[in-house]
Structure 1
Amino acid sequence: MAKIASLNILIDGSSPAANDYLAELSGVVIENIQKNTLSYKLKNQELSGDPVSGTVECRRFTNATSANYGSARTAGKGAAVKAKPVTVAIDQDKEIVEELEAKDVRLYSVDDVLNRRANNHVLTVATALDRAFFAEANTNATAVNVYGITDVADILEKIIQECENTHNSFVDGVPRDMMSLVLSTEYYGKIRNHLDKCERSNVDTGVEEFYVWHGVETNSSTRLPVGCDILLMVKGAVAQPVMMEQYVAEKIPLSEAVGVELFYHYGTKAVTPDLIFGADFTQPNEGN
């Protein structure tokens, strides 16, 4: 990555070194945000449209149906392919604007200070995106009644089977390898404790993660909404288009400070809410 000798060079719009540095720094930030967000691995990637317009679209196609041989010939046409469009608005506009004082960068190089701040910006943006993603998923999740079930294995299995047996115009059952479990750290710990007590567990309980539970990818997250311990979703159930602008540096008037600015925009929407599930620990079964 290019080296920046001074704040004055950083704000020189005609400086190739400054422009290259800011472009490279932006690229590194975007790459690291993708690595640090669980939502990036789970979100819907099949979107169409230009994000600059403010919206993108996801199209969900209905299942094909079998007809008796000769039906198309008799009708003179095949069955129409039906699709349900879901519009995702990019309606969240965010910024990180920080001022660097000349005296504060004298002990370090400019690019060293900016690299350190960029690492913090990665965490800030990643947290915002994950929290928005899981909040949307939680809001649209079908709450599976697990009232009275005390065994954590039975609770998770009931939720998994609820998703597995989904049948509607778009879905005819869901394979477990298409699902992902996201657990709070507390509930993730309960599963680890459960595995520790299993005499013949095929999971190495000495490592931090166990990755798969009953054939379902499993993750722990500190970014779930308050009160949410379990989310199960099919990968792609939530869309979250993100637009990151390139870093910009500019002189702050009447000071020795330079403003470093990062702007980003995103939107979050559940595109297949019927494939998102949570747990309801409080609702009694009917008749109890």
Structure 2
Amino acid sequence: MARLDALSIKMTNGSTAEKLAEEYGKVIDNLQHVTLASRLKNTDLSGDPTSGTVEAKRFVNITGQSYGTARSGHAGQNVKADPVVIALNDNTEYLEEVEEKDLRTYGVDGLIERRTKNHQDALAVELDTKFFAEAVNQGTSYSPAGTPTIDDEIEGAIQEIETKRNNFVNGVPRNMIEVVMSPAYYGKLRNKINAIANSNDLGKVANYEQGTFNNTQVYSSVFLPEGVNYVVMAKGSVAQPVMTSIYNPKKIELSDAVAFGLFAYKGTKAVTPDLIIYNGTPASL
């Protein structure tokens, strides 16, 4: 058997396809833990993602009426909802061609494990970056009054969301508020976080660090838009549905290379922009 045929046969046989499916299965599972976006995003979505869109609904608060109103009117109040449609129209691919020399260096299994891990990391960066870009793009700029300490500044920003009242919310509980900070700003708050017992959750996640400040989850992320110091939002303020598809190994025509990889179909959209604030001056979005 010619050595030039070795890669094609080894990479396109059934066992390799199964190995690739197994490793990409790990990638999809890991994204739920690796990305901060997965932790914060809105998951209360309806519809079939394969149709190209899903929908989130914001229900308008009901107003109490005098006892007997429904009986006399023979009807209760209509449920009012504001639908937000999220289109999965942001498509990317992570496709690579591998050569015989790569196979000789790492072996089939080793090569697949290395490259799928890299695809996972690249997709995770993309998801977090686009998530926070949407949050800042749709959120409201916030600046504290005066020159408060870092503790008072972040507390004030939390209260800005906590006390929000409109047709959809009558305040937001602190356990539903998330603060995402740049590493520099998180560092300023670090001593306060360290002073709280069991407030750190280090080494358990990949793309961010987290802690607790005044009964609110705070995170450090390198994926905030440049120039943004922090974002404060209600959990679920941004939706980011993601679908993936595996491209099984196939021989590249007229070459000794084989291609394999991953397709990602996604959309990112603010569902509750009124519950998002940010501090800083974004360089670009």
State TM-score, norm by structure 1. 0.88
The answer to whether residue 227 in structure 2 is matched with residue 227 in structure 1 is yes
Aligned length: 270
Aligned-residue offset at 1:203: 4.2
Contact 2:97 2:259 survives alignment (8 Å): yes
Show the counterpart of 1:269.
Answer: 269
The secondary structure found in structure 1 opposite 2:219 is strand
From 97, 100, 103, the equivalent of 1:99 is 97
Contact 1:22 1:247 survives alignment (8 Å): no
The secondary structure found in structure 2 opposite 1:106 is helix
Contact 1:23 1:247 survives alignment (8 Å): no
Q: Structure 1 residues 159 and 258 mapped into 2: Cα distance closer, same or farther (>3 Å)?
A: same
Contact 2:98 2:258 survives alignment (8 Å): yes
State TM-score, norm by structure 2. 0.89
Show the counterpart of 1:62.
Answer: 60
Q: Structure 1 residues 206 and 60 mapped into 2: Cα distance closer, same or farther (>3 Å)?
A: closer
Show the counterpart of 1:142.
Answer: 140
Q: Which amino acid aligns with 2:137?
A: T
From 155, 167, 170, the equivalent of 1:169 is 167
Q: Structure 1 residues 64 and 280 mapped into 2: Cα distance closer, same or farther (>3 Å)?
A: same
Task: Give CA deviations for 1:18-62 in whole Å, capped at 9, x if unaligned.
Answer: 332222122111112222100001000011111111111001111
Instruction: Give the whole-Å Cα distance in 2 for the aligned partners of 1:147 and 1:176.
Output: 22
Aligned-residue offset at 1:204: 6.9
From 152, 157, 160, the equivalent of 2:158 is 160
Instruction: Give the whole-Å Cα distance in 2 for the aligned partners of 1:53 and 1:245.
Output: 15
Task: Give CA deviations for 1:56-97 in whole Å, capped at 9, x if unaligned.
Answer: 100111112111100001111000010110000111110111
Q: Which amino acid aligns with 1:182?
A: V
Show the counterpart of 2:258.
Answer: 258
Q: Which amino acid aligns with 2:61?
A: N
Instruction: Give the whole-Å Cα distance in 1 for the aligned partners of 2:16 and 2:200.
Output: 47
Q: Structure 1 residues 257 and 174 mapped into 2: Cα distance closer, same or farther (>3 Å)?
A: same
Instruction: Give the whole-Å Cα distance in 2 for the aligned partners of 1:147 and 1:171.
Output: 25
Show the counterpart of 2:86.
Answer: 88
Contact 1:181 1:232 survives alignment (8 Å): yes
From 121, 124, 133, the equivalent of 1:123 is 121
From 179, 182, 186, the equivalent of 1:181 is 179
Q: Structure 1 residues 280 and 112 mapped into 2: Cα distance closer, same or farther (>3 Å)?
A: closer
Instruction: Give the whole-Å Cα distance in 2 for the aligned partners of 1:75 and 1:138.
Output: 45
Q: Note the 1:2-81 alignment, pairs <5 A.
A: 7-12=8-13, 15=14, 17-81=15-79
| Structure 1 alignment gaps of length 5 or more | 282-288
Task: Give CA deviations for 1:238-267 in whole Å, capped at 9, x if unaligned.
Answer: 000001102421101122111112111110
Instruction: Give the whole-Å Cα distance in 1 for the aligned partners of 2:171 and 2:60.
Output: 13
Identity of matched residues, %:
44
Instruction: Give the whole-Å Cα distance in 2 for the aligned partners of 1:202 and 1:129.
Output: 31
Q: Which amino acid aligns with 1:33?
A: L
Show the counterpart of 1:215.
Answer: 215
| Structure 2 alignment gaps of length 5 or more | 1-5, 203-208
Q: Which amino acid aligns with 1:11?
A: T
The secondary structure found in structure 1 opposite 2:93 is strand
The CA RMSD measured in Å over matched residues stands at 2.0
Q: Structure 1 residues 99 and 195 mapped into 2: Cα distance closer, same or farther (>3 Å)?
A: closer
Contact 2:179 2:219 survives alignment (8 Å): yes
Instruction: Give the whole-Å Cα distance in 2 for the aligned partners of 1:148 and 1:8.
Output: 68
Aligned-residue offset at 1:102: 1.1
Show the counterpart of 1:284.
Answer: none
Task: Give CA deviations for 1:145-195 in whole Å, capped at 9, x if unaligned.
Answer: 215324101111111111011101110011100111101000000111456
The answer to whether residue 196 in structure 2 is matched with residue 202 in structure 1 is yes
Instruction: Give the whole-Å Cα distance in 1 for the aligned partners of 2:144 and 2:279.
Output: 6
Show the counterpart of 1:241.
Answer: 241
Aligned-residue offset at 1:114: 1.0
